[in-house]
Amino acid sequence: MDTTVEKKYTFKDFASDQEVRWCPGCDDYVILRAMQKALPEMGVKKQDVVFISGIGCSSRFPYYMDTYGMHSIHGRAPAIATGTKLANPNLSVWVITGDGDSMAIGGNHFIHVLRRNVDLNIVLFNNEIYGLTKGQFSPTSLVGQKTKSSPYGNTQPPFSAGELAIGAQARFFARIGGNTPKEMTQIFIEAEKFEGTSLIEVMQNCPIFNDGCYDEFTDKAVREDKQLFVEHGKPMIFGKERDKGLVLKGLKLEVVTIGENGITQEDILVHDAKEQDPTLHQMLVRLHYPKVTGIIRSYDDITFDERMDNQIKEVKRKSNFHYTDDLFFSGDTYEVK
Amino acid sequence: MTTTKINPQPKTLHAVVIRFVGDSGDGMQLTGTQFSDTSAMFGNDIATFPNYPAEIRAPQGSLYGVSGFQVHIGSVEINTPGDEVDLLVAMNPAGLKTNLHAVKPGHTIIVDTDAFTKKNLDKAQYDTNPLQDGSLENYQVIEVAMTSLTKEALKDIEGLDNKSITRSKNMFALGMVYWMYNRSTDHTIDFFKKKFSTKPELIEANTKVLNTGYYFAETLELIPNSYGVAPAKMAPGTYRIIMGNTATAWGFLAASEKSGLDLFLGSYPITPASDILHELAKHQHFGVKTFQAEDEIAGITSAIGASFAGNLAITTTSGPGLALKGEALGLAMMIEMPIVVVNVQRGGPSTGLPTKTEQSDLLQALYGRNGESPIIVIAASTPANCFDFAYQASKLTLEHMTPVVLLTDGYIANGSAPWKIKSVKDMPEIKTNIIHEYQEGWHPYDRDEDTLARSWAIPGTPGLEHRVGGLEKDRVSGNVSYVPDNHEYMVKIRAEKIKRVQNSIPELKSEFIDEGELLVIGWGGTFGSLYSAIKSIREKGYTSIGLAHFNYINPLPKNTEEVLKRFKKIIVCELNNGQFAKVLKLNFNDFEILQFNKIQGLPFGNEELIQKFKQLLK
């Protein structure tokens, strides 16, 4: 793949001339800016970048990016993006989706794109609510959550995006708060580098219909104590004082304090995002305290597009059929004089 | 061995219909294909149709497990696989029971008497043995103990298991039929050599059984003579026998090569369309990408994604699948992206009759989307011209930047016929609307003055970055627009774009006569049935009848009204409850449009059409 860039881009090169129309205070602005900042760092040519979205607030995203883009139909962006990537594996293809788009109406495409490991990136704006249709519960809304369509409280248990994704064989899963743009930018860059389907779940606040849904993890005052930002090869330490960490006790993760009960930094688990076995990654995804953010899983595997490309090259190499005439006039033909 | 008395028959025949029937595992499709290929190579015109059960491994000997293959060969032009059967080869009682009704009285039935056991008769729900109870006295029944004769013939060949021995009895039957119709066994023996190249004992065994059947028929005094069906007059050239679905797949291969665009198929398996997926999956050597998706929706949307990236993108399906693709087809229409949707129609509604033919998706193809969303709809009408219309669908979609639905149906998709092979170099040019560089003032919805097709900017091209989407867009900039007047303008220009396709398609021609008493109108897969029926009624003196057969449904050919005007009566014949008749009534309200509809999952029969036409020509 030729990804050399002659021109050094800035974030302005990726901003389209369209007025951004999300509600004031929405985390979507943060995500947009983080993406526009990440792209110049990725080493891709602007003309090779494609954003494909479904339907929902998040899915207006492509209109604001000065790249190739398609605002498609509800839930289908992963399937469209699969076609785009297979047709031209040189492209950097991004899917922009929300919790309803990817896990309700588009659930089927979401799990299959992960299973196949198509080399594209999915940014999942998870605000645990339907915004564009004005406030119904989504497949990630909590039980008991009162919404327009659940005035007495939601009775449907939620999906955990990460668990669903890893269950569907996701090779790359990252989670990030909607108010941490620096880390988000870095994760976007890592996702682009990763060859395979990268899923980034953004805990995105909806200030209108589900305001504060992530406050207990993302509020600036508590974030360092409540979030564990994992990095491959580094011990899983968190807390304002950097004194809390994770250890494995039996089949469960446990939070311990360094310096108490004889615990030292050496006892803390070291994050291995590249491990093939997803057991520990699933446990990290499930953890409520601390909420694990960062790149939780990043297992290198052959991609679907590469497999297909290799197969076609191999078949072409072995075949005597180069033009359709070679096929049409082969086998049981006969002459009429 | 007993038989009823045989009447003398003429030695030369113009056309013959033969049907091979047996258990699903009896190899009837292979037997039928071998006979068809051999006859085609001899120079006959042919048409074939397989008829197999929906169950993959139906219980042996059961009525619903019967598999059949019909072939119509002639020294004259053959347009259908034929209605009534001249020769039935029945390998078991169930096959006889389910197919006897199709045999012309006085004509021949060959049976394997070894299969007429008490057990098989019970399974076929016969109270008495039809070979003994006189119920077949109106037919010439040739009783042959095929299974035991096959075993006898193979007793000295080493390395054969019992199953292989019994399975080759279909070649005994084929050998007999080859002798009866003066056909050489060479082609089939060559076939054995290729198919069993690593198993010499199977080549020897099958050849021996085939020859034994052939010599058996020759020495059998019960067969009075063999018949000849002379070569047909066909245009000189190189031919092959092709199935409709294969021809469709190859049409796309040709269009891909001609347009210089890689072919992408996104598809989800569905009867009777899956064979197009199977065929294209074989041709990765041409760079074809076939993507078996997770569902029908992903089938079409992956194709839309591939089209966005500059491929010639197609999706294949049948009725219920088209229903699922409706929303995505609307998107492709809205973003004015080239894509071909092949709908191999089957009996509907809902799951309907998956293995049977029907033409009942026409209105779905025309109108099955939300909003004002006209697209191009065309239909193939014979197994061989599926090639031409797949090619034409590709050309139209690329040149006009709009989705095309190509309608075929189970009848022509599974049927086969001789195809005079077309080389890509002889096919018409395909011009795409691709633009390669930015020019001052370019917008993604800039239109060609003549066709109104928009320009096609493909990701990877510097300077042409742009967004498309399902929201309404400004007529100039292509940006999202909710302006009322603009929406009306865009709806109308998208409709006008489809209307202008009339300038790219041929005018309608009436077959046989240009004006007269009765115009028969058909569309799509009924061409063969209508054409043959009209030809035969004309031979009987009813000459004021013509045929206007439509391959272009939306838009209709420009001169449609003129053609209709020249006839006193118009009847639309279709395998549905009157869908094309509705379309014509909507478009032309000056005519009385009569209808002849059949909705039985079956093609039109020659006789029923002739009866109907005679009534109208009185």
State whether residue B41 sits within 8 Å of chain A by CB: yes
Q: What is the pLDDT of residue B164?
A: 87
Neighbours of B291 (CB within 10 A): 26
Q: Do A83 and B466 touch (CB under 8 A)?
A: no
Q: What is the pLDDT of residue B353?
A: 93
Judge if ipTM > 0.90: yes
Name the residue facing A83 among B37, B291, B469 (closest C-beta).
Answer: B291
Chain A residue numbers touching B295 (CB-CB < 8 A): 108
For chain B, give the number of residues.
618
Strand order through the sheet with A237-238: A237-238, A244-249, A252-257
Chain B residue numbers touching A56 (CB-CB < 8 A): none
Query: Is there a domain that residue A50 lies in?
Result: yes
Give the angle B559-B560-B566 at the CA atoms, nearest 5°: 95
A residues 311-330 closer than 8 Å to B (CB): 311-312, 315-316, 319, 321-325, 327-329
| Radius of gyration for chain A, computed over Cα atoms and rounded to the nearest angstrom | 23
DSSP E strand stretches across B416-543: 416-420, 467-469, 510-511, 516-523
Residue B615 and residue B396 in contact, taking contact as beta carbons nearer than 8 Å: no
Query: Is the Cα torsion angle A42, A47, A53, A57 positive or negative in sign?
Result: positive
Q: What is the pLDDT of residue B307?
A: 98
Q: What is the pLDDT of residue B57?
A: 66
Residue that wins the pLDDT comparison between B553 and B220: B553
Residue that wins the pLDDT comparison between B160 and B153: B153
Name the residue facing B240 among A69, A91, A332 (closest C-beta).
Answer: A332
Per-residue pLDDT of chain A (337 residues; tens, 9 = 90+): 444 556 799 999 999 999 999 999 999 999 999 999 999 999 999 999 999 999 999 999 999 999 999 999 999 999 999 999 999 999 999 999 999 999 999 999 999 999 999 999 999 999 999 999 999 999 999 999 999 999 999 999 999 999 999 999 999 999 999 999 999 999 999 999 999 999 999 999 999 999 999 999 999 999 999 999 999 999 999 999 999 999 999 999 999 999 999 999 999 999 999 999 999 999 999 999 999 999 999 999 999 999 999 999 999 999 999 999 999 999 999 999 8
Name the residue facing B286 among A321, A335, A337 (closest C-beta).
Answer: A321
Span B12-229: which CATH code?
3.40.920.10
Selected for mutation to probe chain A from B240, B258, B308 (highest A CB count within 10 Å) is B308
Selected for mutation to probe chain B from A4, A6, A49, A73 (highest B CB count within 10 Å) is A73
Greatest CA separation found in chain A? Answer: 97
| Residue A28 DSSP class | H
- Residue B262 to chain A, least CA–CA distance (Å): 8
Q: From A95, which residue of chain B is nearest by alpha-carbon distance?
A: B305
pLDDT digits (tens, 9 = 90+) for B364-390: 999 999 999 999 999 999 999 999 999
Q: Do B250 and A79 touch (CB under 8 A)?
A: no
Query: Is there a domain that residue A70 lies in?
Result: yes
Chain B residue numbers touching A315 (CB-CB < 8 A): 284-285
Decide if pLDDT at B51 tops 90: no
Neighbours of B308 (CB within 10 A): 31
Phi/psi of residue B480, nearest 5 degrees: -55, 135
For chain A, give the number of residues.
337
Question: Of the given ranges (B99-103, B160-164, B560-564), which has the lowest mean pLDDT?
Answer: B160-164
pLDDT grade, residue B226 (50/70/90)?
A: confident
**b/e burial code for range B129-168 (CB count within 10 A of at least 16 → b):** ebbeeeebeebbbbbbbbbebbbebbeeeeebeeebbbbb
Query: Where does CATH 3.40.50.920 sit in chain B?
Result: 510-617
- Please state the domain count of chain A: 1
Decide if pLDDT at B1 tops 70: no
Name the residue facing B466 among A52, A68, A83 (closest C-beta).
Answer: A68
Q: What is the pLDDT of residue B223?
A: 73
B142 strand-pairing partners: B3, B110
Q: Do A87 and B310 touch (CB under 8 A)?
A: yes
Q: Do A332 and B467 touch (CB under 8 A)?
A: no
Residue A49 and residue A9 in contact, taking contact as beta carbons nearer than 8 Å: no
Name the residue facing B306 among A70, A83, A312 (closest C-beta).
Answer: A83
Chain A residue numbers touching B289 (CB-CB < 8 A): 86-87, 308, 312
B276: its two tokens: 């197009």
| Chain position carrying tokens 């300077």 | B463
State whether residue A337 sits within 8 Å of chain B by CB: yes
Cα(B238)–Cα(B253) distance, integer angstroms: 19
Query: Where does CATH 3.40.50.970 sit in chain B?
Result: 242-426
Structural domain harbouring A76? 11-213+302-310
Chain B residue numbers touching A81 (CB-CB < 8 A): 305
Chain B residue numbers touching A332 (CB-CB < 8 A): 37, 41, 187, 240-241
Decide if pLDDT at B10 tops 60: no
Q: What is the pLDDT of residue B222?
A: 67
Q: From B190, which residue of chain A is nearest by alpha-carbon distance?
A: A332
- Residue B462 to chain A, least CA–CA distance (Å): 5
Whole-number average pLDDT of chain A: 96
Chain B residue numbers touching A336 (CB-CB < 8 A): 43, 234-237, 239, 420
Query: Is there a domain that residue A158 lies in?
Result: yes
The candidate with the shortest Cα–Cα distance to B465, out of A114, A18, A185, is: A18
Phi/psi of residue A65, nearest 5 degrees: -105, 130
CATH code where residue A23 lies = 3.40.50.970
Those residues with Cβ within 8 angstroms of residue A7's Cβ, 6 or more apart along the chain or in another chain = none
State whether residue A306 sits within 8 Å of chain B by CB: no
Please, what is the angle between helix B169-180 and helix B200-219, to 10°?
40
pLDDT digits (tens, 9 = 90+) for A185-225: 999 999 999 999 999 999 999 999 999 999 999 999 999 99
Q: From A85, which residue of chain B is nearest by alpha-carbon distance?
A: B306
Name the residue facing B459 among A76, A91, A325 (closest C-beta).
Answer: A91
Neighbours of B40 (CB within 10 A): 26
Q: What is the pLDDT of residue B54?
A: 61
Q: Do A334 and B40 touch (CB under 8 A)?
A: yes
Residue A136's Cβ-count burial label (10 Å; 0-12, 13-18, 19+) is: middle
Mean pLDDT calculated for residue range B258-287: 98
Q: Do A80 and B335 touch (CB under 8 A)?
A: no
The candidate with the shortest Cα–Cα distance to A183, out of A203, A209, A153, A208, is: A203
State whether residue B421 sits within 8 Å of chain A by CB: yes
Q: Do B470 and A48 touch (CB under 8 A)?
A: no
Taking domain B242-426, whether its CATH number is 3.20.20.10 is answered by: no
Give the angle B218-B221-B227 at the CA atoms, nearest 5°: 55
- Residue A88 to chain B, least CA–CA distance (Å): 6
Query: Is there a domain that residue A259 lies in?
Result: no
Query: Is there a domain that residue A292 lies in?
Result: no
Name the residue facing B297 among A76, A84, A325 (closest C-beta).
Answer: A76
B572 strand-pairing partners: B521, B595
The candidate with the shortest Cα–Cα distance to B36, out of B188, B161, B223, is: B188
Whole-number average pLDDT of chain B: 94
The candidate with the shortest Cα–Cα distance to B610, out of B524, B518, B523, B548, is: B518
Q: Is A185 left (phi over 0), alpha (psi -120 to 50) or beta?
A: alpha
State whether residue B416 sits within 8 Å of chain A by CB: no
Q: What is the pLDDT of residue A6?
A: 60
Query: Is there a domain that residue A315 lies in?
Result: no
Name the residue facing B291 among A46, A76, A86 (closest C-beta).
Answer: A86
Percent residues over pLDDT 70 in chain A? 98
| Residue B55 DSSP class | S
Q: Do A321 and B463 touch (CB under 8 A)?
A: no
From residue A106, alpha-carbon distances to A125, B246, B296, B472, B586 in Å are: 14, 33, 13, 23, 38
Decide if pLDDT at B52 tops 90: no
Chain A residue numbers touching B424 (CB-CB < 8 A): 323-325
Decide if pLDDT at B7 tops 50: no
Chain A residue numbers touching B422 (CB-CB < 8 A): 328
State whether residue A87 sits within 8 Å of chain B by CB: yes
Decide if pLDDT at B28 tops 50: yes
Those residues with Cβ within 8 angstroms of residue A195's Cβ, 6 or more apart along the chain or in another chain = A119, A300, A303, A306
The candidate with the shortest Cα–Cα distance to B119, out of B146, B91, B93, is: B93
Name the residue facing B469 among A70, A112, A334 (closest C-beta).
Answer: A70
Q: Do A83 and B305 touch (CB under 8 A)?
A: yes
Cα(A192)–Cα(A93) distance, integer angstroms: 9
B residues 449-468 closer than 8 Å to A (CB): 459-468
pLDDT grade, residue B6 (50/70/90)?
A: very low
Cα(B10)–Cα(B230) distance, integer angstroms: 13
Name the residue facing B240 among A81, A112, A333 (closest C-beta).
Answer: A333
Decide if pLDDT at B70 tops 70: yes
Query: Is there a domain that residue A328 lies in?
Result: no
Q: From A14, which residue of chain B is nearest by alpha-carbon distance?
A: B465
pLDDT grade, residue B618 (50/70/90)?
A: confident
Decide if pLDDT at B3 tops 50: no
Taking domain B510-617, whether its CATH number is 3.40.50.1980 is answered by: no
State whether residue B310 sits within 8 Å of chain A by CB: yes
Amino acid symbol at B332? A
Q: Where are the alpha helices (DSSP H) in B59-199?
A: 93-99, 118-123, 146-154, 162-167, 169-180, 186-195
Query: Is there a domain that residue A195 lies in?
Result: yes
Chain B residue numbers touching A322 (CB-CB < 8 A): 285
